[in-house]
Structure 1
C-alpha cells in the first residue's frame, strides 16, 4: 500500500488520449493542449527582473565559504553588458561561444547573454578538457562549431585545453587572475562594455526559432553530435514541466543542484526550471562520488530545497548521510515537495529507503518520480504524475507531446513529436535526416511497455534500448535495459555499473565495473595497497560474486534473464574512448566495442583471472 502524500497541489492532469492504427501503431497524447509559452528564455529573465528584481536567482560558494548571490535584476543588467561585448566581436550562430568550465555564475551570464543577442553558446563537458588525455573531443568541437570565443572561469585549471584553443587564434576569456599569463581577456571587461543600441536591436531579432545553445551528446563509439537547441524547444518544455509539476506555479522553486550544464538534465531541465519559474538555484559543487558528496551534504545542511533532482548514483551517495544524521534529514525534507531522478534506473531498495525516511521524518511520503527524454527533446517528453509503488515508471506524454509506439521485434519502439523536439544536428544533415521518420517523429531509440495492462493512464515503463537488445545463439531475445538494472540492483553494493554481453552467444554475461571499496572488503587478507586487478582475481572475491549469480539464477525466468558469467574490470570507463560521461552515464556500445578482447576472454574456454562463471 502506498502511504498518502501530504495534501498539496503536486501534479497537473495529463490524461492521455490513445489512437490505435490498423498497422498496430499506437499514438498517445495529452487530452489538453500545451498553454502559451515564452518566446525566449531571456524573456523570462526579464520578466522576473521587473517583477522581483531583488530575489536571488543564482548562488554559488565564494572563496570565503559564504554564498555569492546574484539577483534577477542584476543578472538581467549584466547579460546586456556581456551581450554588447559579444556583438562587438561579430559572433554569430556560425562562430559561437564555447564554454569549457563547469557550472557557475559567470558561465550562466555568458550563456544568457548569448541567448539575449542571438549568439549561441555550447557548454562542453569538463571531462573533455580536464580528464581527457588527448583532448580529442575538444579538437572535434572546435572543428564542428568553429567558435571565435572560448570561456573558462578558472583559467589555470583549463590551461592545457586553452593552449590548444590559443593555437587556433581563438579569443579566450577567463574569470580568474590568470588572464595575463594565458594571454586571455578578463571576464570583467565584458561586464564593463556599455549597453549599445545594437543590443536592443538584437534582442528584437531573437525569437522562438532562434538557436539558444548547442548541446553535445555523449556520442557512441565516435564523436559527439551537436544538438541544436532553440528557444522554442526550451520554453515549450518548461511550460510542459510547469503543467506536469503544478506546484512550480504555486511558489518559486528552490534547487540545490550539481548536475552539469553541459548536459540537458542539468541545463535545460533544472537550470530552466529555476529561471522559468522565478526560483533560486544554489549551484552545488559536489558530485555523487566519495570525494565529492561531502560538498553536497554541506550545502543541504544550509539550504532546504523544494524540489530535488539527481541521478540514481547521487541519491545512493546521499542516502547514508540522511540515514545517519537526524538534523540533516529534518532540514532536507522540511519543505521538499518532490524528488526526481533521471539518467539511469533507480534501484528498489534506494526508492524504498527514501520513502521510509520521508515518512519517519515528516509523517508522509515525499513523492519520487522520473521522466523520459533526451538531449534532442529538450529534454522532457514523458513524466510520471501519479503515486506509484516502484521506480522505473516514466509516466505519460507531456502536454503538446505526441508519443508514437511502433511494434519492433516484440517491443514498442518510442518516437516523439512536439515543439520541444530539436530541428536537427548542427552541420550534420545526414544524421538529422536519419533521426526522424516519414511523419516527423524523432526516433528516440527506447522501447516502452505499459506499467499496468490496458491502462494508459498508469503510464509507461522503460523497456530498454531497441538498438541494444540482441538474440542469443538460440534465437532468444535479451532485453538489455531491464536486465542490466536488475543485475546491478541485485549485486549492490559490489557493482558500480555493468554492460550486458551475449550477442550470438549461448548465454548472457556481464562486463562489471566493481565498487572498489566494497570488493576490497571481500578480501580482507590482502594488503590495502594491492592493485585492484589482483583483488579481482582473488578466490574470495570470485566466491562472493558466484554466490550472487546463483541467487539470481534461482529466480530467473529462463536464458533471457539468467546471467552465467561475468568479467570484473579493473580499468574504469574511459572518457576519451566515449565509454562514460561526467554525470556517470555509461555508453554500453562503446564499452563493448573497446573491450572486445574482454568479451572474448569472458566466453573463452580458458578462464581468465578476472572471469567468474556460474
Structure 2
C-alpha cells in the first residue's frame, strides 16, 4: 500500500495513529456470515479417536441448533445463560460454541490446567468469576459437569435468539502473566468488527483461507480470532495437534494433504517446522504449494528465529510474505496487523481499520494505547465487573512500549513496561530489548533467558540452552557481551543453566510458547536470590576485592 499512517499530535504529546483503510459500517453478525457460506463446504476437520473427522458449514449450523434446542429443553437455558466448557478444540467444541451463539448464551472457555484437580483454589476462583449456569466437560474429566450425549434426544425447535452487537457472547481469561487471571467479556460486535477490519486490511482473506491451527480454544487467539477468521471468510480450518518433536511429522503430513493458504504460527511451532523442513526439504513443494502468507505476532519473535524464517520465506517459490500483528485478550485478540509483508522482527503493523493507537509518553518511552470497536466492555472478577484500564481519552493502557518506525511506516514493539525493573542504584533495566540483544549475541546456542536483579547491584540470568548448544561458546559470547556492554544495566554478573523447560502448569509458558518472564521470576524467586548472593550459579564478573 502506498499510503502511510495518518498521524495526529495531541496537546499532551501523544502521537495518535490511524490507518487510511476504511472499516465498513456493514458488519453482520458472525452467524449471518456462517449461514451465507455454501452449506456443502467443509468448515473444519479435526483429529479424533477414529481418525480425522470433518463437518460442513451446513451440518455445523444444523447440529448447533439441535444442541441449542436440547440445552433449552433439558437444562432450561435462556438468552444470557452462561455455559462454561472444558472441551478441547474440536468438532464437539465447535458445535457447542455455535449453539451458544444461536441461543444467545454466553460461552466461557475455561483454561484447562487449574481444573486437572477440581476443587483447587484457582479452579474455584475461576468458577466464581464465570458463574456458569452449566459446565460442560469431556468424557472422563474429573470436574463436576455435564457430558454431552453422543446422540441428542429430540427437543422442540427454537428460533435463533435475536442478536445485538453489544450483547456479551463470550468470556475469555487473560493469561495471568502480570497477576491473577481475569475474565474479559467479549461482545458479538467485537467479533464482527475484528473480522471486518482484518479482511479490509488483508483482502486475500476474502478468498476463503485454508488454515492449519493448533492453538487452544481457551485462548482468544485460537478460540475466537482464528476460528471466526475462517468462518467470516468462508474458509476451512484444519485442527492440528500441539507442536512437538513427536507431532511435527504429522503436521507436515497434514500440510501436504490440505495445502494451506495461510499459516498462523507461534515461535515454538515455527522452530519445529523449520527444523523438520531442513531435515526433509523434499516435503516442502507440496506442503507449501498454495502457501502465500505466514503470520506471527510481531512482539513474540526472537531475532534469531526471525532470520531463519525470513531466509526460508525468501527461498520459497513463489516467495512467502511474512505478516505480523499485535493483540490482547482485552481486544478480542487483535489491535494491529501489518498492511503487507514485513522484513524484520518487532514490527506490529498498523492499527486495525476504524481504530486508533496512541503512543503516550511514559518516562523515557511511549506506551501503546488503543481505542476502537474491538475493545472489550469490562473485566470480570470475583467482585463483579471491573473497568478496563482506560486513560482520560478512552484508550486502553496495554502496558507495552512502542514507537513509530519511520523506515517501515509501522508500529514497532519496544518491550513490556511491566517487565522493566530498577537496580539498587535506581538505574532502569530495559528487559525486553536486553534479552533480545543477548539471545542474538549468543545465537544459535541460546533458546531463551530470564533476567533478574530487581533491587540488586547487578544482573543475573537463567539460561535455556538450545538443542545441541555449546555452553562454552555461550560463556565466551557473554564474556564478549560484557566487555562491549559494561554498564550495570546491561552486563550479566552471574548465570545458571535451566536443566528443565519452563512449566506450563505453573503459568511459566504462554499459549504462544513463550516464557512468561514475570511468572518465572515469581516461581523461582529463591534461585534468583541465590544468584544475586553468589551462592549458586556461575559468576561472569570478577569478585570485588
Q: Same fold (TM over 0.5)?
A: yes
**Aligned equivalent of 2:42:** 56
Q: Return the alpha-carbon distance in structure 2 between the equivalents of residues 91 and 487 of structure 1.
A: 54
**Aligned equivalent of 1:35:** 24
* Residue pair 2:399, 2:416 contacting (<8 A) in 1 also: yes
**Aligned equivalent of 1:448:** 402
Q: Return the alpha-carbon distance in structure 1 between the equivalents of residues 345 and 216 of structure 2.
A: 23
**Aligned equivalent of 1:536:** none
Match of 2:280 among 317, 322, 325: 325
1:189-588, aligned counterparts within 5 Å? 189=152, 192-194=153-155, 196=157, 199-200=158-159, 202-204=160-162, 206-220=163-177, 222-249=179-206, 251-285=207-241, 287-342=242-297, 345-362=300-317, 364-427=318-381, 432-433=386-387, 435-452=389-406, 458-492=409-443, 494-515=445-466, 517-518=467-468, 541=471, 543-556=472-485, 558-570=487-499, 572-588=501-517
Q: Return the alpha-carbon distance in structure 2 between the equivalents of residues 243 and 99 of structure 1.
A: 32
Identify if the C-alpha distance between structure 1 residues 425 and 580 changes in structure 2 by more than 3 Å, giving closer, same or farther: same
* Residue pair 2:508, 2:515 contacting (<8 A) in 1 also: yes
Q: Return the alpha-carbon distance in structure 2 between the equivalents of residues 47 and 272 of structure 1.
A: 14
3-state DSSP of counterpart to 1:209: coil
Moved more, 292-301 or 271-280: 292-301
Per-residue CA distance 1:533-592 (angstroms, 9 max, x = gap): xxxxxxxx5x44422312433554844333332222335434454333454233222222
* Residue pair 2:64, 2:102 contacting (<8 A) in 1 also: yes
* Residue pair 2:248, 2:276 contacting (<8 A) in 1 also: no
Shift of 1:81: 0.8
Moved more, 342-351 or 407-416: 342-351
3-state DSSP of counterpart to 1:301: helix
Q: Return the alpha-carbon distance in structure 2 between the equivalents of residues 570 and 354 of structure 1.
A: 27
**Aligned equivalent of 1:22:** 11
Per-residue CA distance 1:133-166 (angstroms, 9 max, x = gap): 974432222222122322234x12x2x3x2xx2x
Q: Return the alpha-carbon distance in structure 2 between the equivalents of residues 336 and 507 of structure 1.
A: 47
Identify if the C-alpha distance between structure 1 residues 227 and 111 changes in structure 2 by more than 3 Å, giving closer, same or farther: same
Specify every segment of 5 or more residues in structure 1 that has no aligned partner in the other structure, as ranges. Answer: 1-11, 166-170, 175-185, 523-540
Q: Return the alpha-carbon distance in structure 1 between the equivalents of residues 355 and 197 of structure 2.
A: 9
**Aligned equivalent of 1:613:** 540
Shift of 1:509: 2.1
Identify if the C-alpha distance between structure 1 residues 39 and 432 changes in structure 2 by more than 3 Å, giving closer, same or farther: farther
Shift of 1:258: 0.6
**Aligned equivalent of 1:111:** 97
Identify if the C-alpha distance between structure 1 residues 101 and 484 changes in structure 2 by more than 3 Å, giving closer, same or farther: farther
Shift of 1:421: 0.3
Identify if the C-alpha distance between structure 1 residues 512 and 349 changes in structure 2 by more than 3 Å, giving closer, same or farther: closer
Per-residue CA distance 1:336-383 (angstroms, 9 max, x = gap): 121001285323343333333344341x43111211110111111111
1:79-118, aligned counterparts within 5 Å? 79-88=64-73, 89-91=75-77, 95-118=81-104
Identify if the C-alpha distance between structure 1 residues 95 and 328 changes in structure 2 by more than 3 Å, giving closer, same or farther: same
* Residue pair 2:17, 2:351 contacting (<8 A) in 1 also: yes
Shift of 1:292: 3.3
Shift of 1:213: 1.0
Q: Return the alpha-carbon distance in structure 2 between the equivalents of residues 40 and 502 of structure 1.
A: 49
Specify every segment of 5 or more residues in structure 2 that has no aligned partner in the other structure, as ranges. Answer: none
Match of 1:78 among 58, 63, 72: 63
Moved more, 587-596 or 210-219: 587-596
Identify if the C-alpha distance between structure 1 residues 354 and 577 changes in structure 2 by more than 3 Å, giving closer, same or farther: closer
* Residue pair 1:356, 1:365 contacting (<8 A) in 2 also: no
3-state DSSP of counterpart to 2:478: helix
Per-residue CA distance 1:252-299 (angstroms, 9 max, x = gap): 1100111111111112221111111000000112x2322332332222
Q: Return the alpha-carbon distance in structure 2 between the equivalents of residues 555 and 340 of structure 1.
A: 35
TM-score by length of 2: 0.92
* Residue pair 2:379, 2:388 contacting (<8 A) in 1 also: no
* Residue pair 1:29, 1:397 contacting (<8 A) in 2 also: yes
Identify if the C-alpha distance between structure 1 residues 270 and 322 changes in structure 2 by more than 3 Å, giving closer, same or farther: same
3-state DSSP of counterpart to 1:444: strand
Identify if the C-alpha distance between structure 1 residues 556 and 458 changes in structure 2 by more than 3 Å, giving closer, same or farther: farther
Shift of 1:405: 1.3
Shift of 1:494: 4.4
**Aligned equivalent of 1:144:** 129
* Residue pair 2:80, 2:104 contacting (<8 A) in 1 also: no
3-state DSSP of counterpart to 2:336: strand
Per-residue CA distance 1:5-40 (angstroms, 9 max, x = gap): xxxxxxx67742111122211111123431134342
3-state DSSP of counterpart to 1:98: strand
* Residue pair 1:340, 1:370 contacting (<8 A) in 2 also: yes
* Residue pair 1:394, 1:459 contacting (<8 A) in 2 also: yes
* Residue pair 1:304, 1:336 contacting (<8 A) in 2 also: yes
Number of equivalent positions? 540
Q: Return the alpha-carbon distance in structure 2 between the equivalents of residues 560 and 431 of structure 1.
A: 40
Identify if the C-alpha distance between structure 1 residues 545 and 187 changes in structure 2 by more than 3 Å, giving closer, same or farther: same
Q: Return the alpha-carbon distance in structure 1 between the equivalents of residues 454 and 422 of structure 2.
A: 6
Q: Return the alpha-carbon distance in structure 2 between the equivalents of residues 277 and 504 of structure 1.
A: 51
Per-residue CA distance 1:457-495 (angstroms, 9 max, x = gap): 611211011122122333332221222233334445544
**Aligned equivalent of 2:146:** 172
Shift of 1:95: 4.6
Q: Once superposed, what is the RMSD of the aligned Cα atoms?
A: 2.6
* Residue pair 1:37, 1:235 contacting (<8 A) in 2 also: no
TM-score by length of 1: 0.82
